[in-house]
């Protein structure tokens, strides 16, 4: 499992090596926090959800199957905590004054930090518009899109997290894609991906 | 790391340090315990209710073929329902959907496909008489399912599922199939309609109960 450091660390933690939790945290927390922050659009709530997700993992560590994928598991826990927070009328507010602080693994059009300032500003505005559109469509469609296009997960992993079939995940992501295309045209896509993107999503 | 809120790491590690020590073999221990409980329950109920008096007269395909098929179906369904899967979320949703839909159908069809030796049915000379026992068998099937369902849920507790309701329905189907097995060993009424309504159809309400519980405990 040398090429799966997160699963390796989780396996060691589940086997009783308490020190391995720090490695699990370091490998998992950044992407988990970014995912949750994009999902709930509230940095404070995302922090709470990340915290609670880790506590759930800690409590369930004795049941962990050695080598099982950790990311879909953690995302699924985090997403359900988020849905619970909505149901219990906790505050979920999109804060326009608190732009995304998370790293973006595969966001289209996000420039390098050394890129010119105007390019960064326009990319940031575009990212905000994308998030606005995703906030207006059903949560399941937005999450399917985020998991596939922003988090870079496989369709099977996204299906597990969303608790549905792979076909349904593709359909949901496609609907989100169509909503984005309708709202933003093709400006939100990375130029080199525009040509083949439509066929890939559909 | 700089993107994460400061202090979150320390808080998580501090909270985790308060958690009780992990017992790595928890799932295996639970599985063994649940298997023992279910086996004991099956044995005790068959012993208490008695083996059907016409067992020796039954065609082997009906008696032992059905027995083996039910054991296989119940074991496979139990295994599927409690499986942790590749990502600790259980089997893929489509697998659960297909099996949850197929099992009641296959077991119901089995009642008709495998020739039932109606003539050997003790004390049942007519269809109406055989059917008169169906409601009682149905109630007994529900009662027999309950401890098995409890054991399967206990085994899987503390884990989330990709599809909580479907997973619960699978556990319900497994529990009801084990109950069907006890019925097959005990009830001498072999009329297909009696087997269908009194032994096989209770799978549906147990699946519904399992789905309702699963929605609560596996999410």
Q: Is B28 on the interface with A (CB under 8 A)?
A: no
Which of B17, B22, B162 is closest, CB to CB, to A163?
B162
A196 or A13, which is more confident? A13
Q: Which of A16-25, A161-170, B125-134, B207-216 has the lowest mean pLDDT?
A: B125-134
Q: What is the pTM of this model?
A: 0.81
Chain B: closest CA distance from residue A26 (Å): 8
**Is the model's pLDDT at A194 over the cut of 70?**
no
Question: Which residue in B189, B178, B179 sits closest to B54, CA to CA?
Answer: B189
Position of tokens 């068998």? B137
Distance CA B94, CA A164 (A): 8
Q: Write down the pLDDT at residue B184.
A: 87
- CA angle (A142, A145, A150) in 5-degree steps: 115
Q: Which of A25, A70, A73 sits opposite B9 (nearest CB)?
A: A25
In A26-146 the beta strands, taken as DSSP E runs, fall at none
pLDDT per residue over B21-77, tens digit each? 877 778 999 999 999 999 999 999 999 999 888 888 888 888 888 899 999 999 999
In angstroms, the separation between the Cα of residue B32 and the nearest Cα of chain A is 14
pLDDT digits (tens, 9 = 90+) for B75-131: 999 999 999 999 999 999 999 999 999 998 998 888 777 766 665 566 566 778 878
- Both tokens assigned to B121: 């049915």
Q: Kindly indicate the confidence band of residue A201, based on its pLDDT and cuts at 50, 70 and 90.
A: very low
Say what the pLDDT of residue B190 is. 80
Burial grade of A134 (CB within 10 A; 0-12, 13-18, 19 or more): buried
Alpha helices in B54-163 (DSSP H): 60, 66-82, 93-113, 127-132, 134-156
Nearest to B15 among A22, A55, A69 (CB): A55
Q: Chain A partners of B163 at a C-beta cutoff of 8 Å?
A: 163-164
Closest approach of A193 to chain B, Cα-based (Å): 27
Residues whose CB falls within 8 Å of the CB of residue B163, separated by 6 or more in sequence, listed in order: A163, A164, B90, B93, B96, B97
Give this complex's ipTM. 0.85
pLDDT 10s digits, B157-203? 999 999 999 999 999 999 999 999 998 888 888 888 888 889 889 99
Give the alpha-carbon dihedral of B121, B123, B127, B130, to 10 degrees. Answer: -90
């Amino acid at each position: 499992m040398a090429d799966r450091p997160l699963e390796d660390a989780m396996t060691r933690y589940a086997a009783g090596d308490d020190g391995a939790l720090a490695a699990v945290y370091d490998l998992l927390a950044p992407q988990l926090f970014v995912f949750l922050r994009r999902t709930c659009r509230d940095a404070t709530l995302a922090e709470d959800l990340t915290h609670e997700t880790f506590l759930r993992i800690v409590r369930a560590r004795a049941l962990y199957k050695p080598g099982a994928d950790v990311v879909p598991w953690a995302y699924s826990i985090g997403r359900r905590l988020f849905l619970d927070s909505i149901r219990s009328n906790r505050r979920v507010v999109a804060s326009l004054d608190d732009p995304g602080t998370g790293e973006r693994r595969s966001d289209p059009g996000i420039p390098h930090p050394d890129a010119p300032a105007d390019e960064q500003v326009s990319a940031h505005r575009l990212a905000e518009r994308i998030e606005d559109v995703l906030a207006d469509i059903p949560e399941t469609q937005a999450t399917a899109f985020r998991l596939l296009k922003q988090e870079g997960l496989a369709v099977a992993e996204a299906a597990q997290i969303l608790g549905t079939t792979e076909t349904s995940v593709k359909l949901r992501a496609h609907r989100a894609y169509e909503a984005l295309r309708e709202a933003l045209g093709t400006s939100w896509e990375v130029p080199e991906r525009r040509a083949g993107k439509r066929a890939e999503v559909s | 790391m700089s993107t994460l809120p400061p202090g979150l790491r320390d808080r998580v590690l501090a909270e985790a340090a308060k958690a009780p020590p992990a017992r790595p073999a928890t799932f295996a221990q639970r599985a063994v315990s649940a298997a023992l409980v279910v086996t004991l329950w099956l044995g005790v109920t068959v012993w208490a209710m008695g083996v059907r008096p016409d067992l020796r007269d039954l065609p082997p395909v009906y008696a032992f073929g059905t027995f083996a098929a039910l054991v296989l179906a119940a074991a496979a369904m139990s295994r599927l329902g409690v499986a942790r899967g590749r990502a600790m979320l259980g089997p893929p949703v489509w697998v659960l959907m297909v099996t949850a839909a197929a099992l009641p159908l296959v077991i119901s069809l089995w009642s008709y496909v495998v020739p039932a030796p109606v003539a050997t049915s003790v004390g049942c000379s007519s269809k109406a008489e055989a059917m008169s026992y169906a409601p009682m068998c149905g109630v007994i099937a529900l009662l027999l399912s309950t401890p098995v369902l409890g054991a399967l849920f206990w085994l899987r507790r503390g884990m989330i599922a990709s599809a909580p309701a479907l997973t619960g329905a699978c556990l319900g189907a497994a529990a009801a199939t084990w109950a069907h097995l006890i019925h097959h060993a005990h009830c001498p009424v072999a009329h297909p309609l009696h087997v269908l309504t009194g032994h096989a159809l209770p799978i549906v309400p147990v699946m519904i109960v399992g789905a309702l519980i699963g929605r609560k405990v596996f999410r």
